Structure 1
Amino acid sequence: MEKVMFEIYQHFDDQGLIDVTFKLSNPTALITAHRLILSATSPYFKQLFKSEKGICPLIEIRDIDSETFERLIMFCYTGKTLVTVENVDRMLKPALVLQVDDVLAQCVDFLFEHMNDYTLKRAYTLEREAQCALLSEKMLEYEIKNFTSVTESAEFLNFETAKLQTILESDDLNVTTEKCAFAAVQGWYEHGATVRKQALFRECM
């Protein structure tokens, strides 16, 4: 398999047997590839190449910067890519769109392994923008495990009632005392008492 993977990468490197070219505009770039390789690593590309748009030898890609797109294409050939604090946002969203699941998982894992450098506020912003199920799932796990530090963030005060309930009902909730948890919930409730009182009343009906 290592020999096969090496040969696949060599084809990309020397442009042999290329059968598709992608045109990107941010910045302008032409990136060539092999349909078979991309189809094998991404359901998005597999469906694209079966469509009328995918038949064309030159395919325009919008809303993804050329550097990130090339990184994802390279991953399809090598199984490797470089994720950093600076580029994880730019990598995660296109990986989600292009359904390169291994890169998506790598980005999510990297984010939580480097949360101190990445920051919780930035993670919540990315969660809202990306609408990524895997990221939301890992975010919930992080909130349960790091409940005390999460409650100190401004984002905590805007948690939906159902989300907070899920966290509090978890058997793995990490709090020093029930008193600390109660104080956090009380602060959350008082932040939007009128609206939350109505929401809790509806749920109890």
Structure 2
Amino acid sequence: MFEKLHFNTARLTIRPLQQGDLHAIYESRRNPVTSKYIGEPATLEDAQARIDQASAPWQAKEHERLLLAVVRREDNVLIGELMYKFLSHNAKTAEIGYRLNEKYIGQGYAFEAANGLIEAAFAQFGLNKICAFCAVENQASWRLMQKLGMQQEAHLRQHFKFSHGYYDGYMYGLLRSEHSMAATA
């Protein structure tokens, strides 16, 4: 029914994760700084399990994650990941997520990758709305959501549980009509 996403942006290739990505994924996910508001730093086994999950056929079921690699085109280096999943086929709503290796933060790659994913998802899947979630303390994440044109829709009390406690979350959303207006503005 649906194909896995694979596309290019000006500086990046976005493609499904593959077995050869193991060490780059591990290097990125074991970092406590970039893991703070996502989960525990990953072990090599955790990284392998993520690659294995990404290698399985994607059925595009509600809440089934499609895991994508963010690869810098100039040197073919994997610099991060994107996540996509349908929240509701009936409502034509999906969720995106993003994560970069700490070495590549602050260079516009997260915006470029996430914006490309939003454009591809609206075009390929006929969505009405794309959502994203983050911990309130994750200022870089919610600022990126705002830069992407997303609107804050909810403040979710104690929505995330990490080893260091419960955290409130934000939910942001972007409607197809808002994205179309932003693209033409």
TM over 0.5: no
More relative contact order in 1 or in 2 (CA 8 Å, sep 6+)?
2
Structure 1 length-normalised TM:
0.28
Structure 2 length-normalised TM:
0.30
Structure number with greater Rg is: 1
Structure that is richer in helix per residue: 1
Structure that is richer in strand per residue: 2
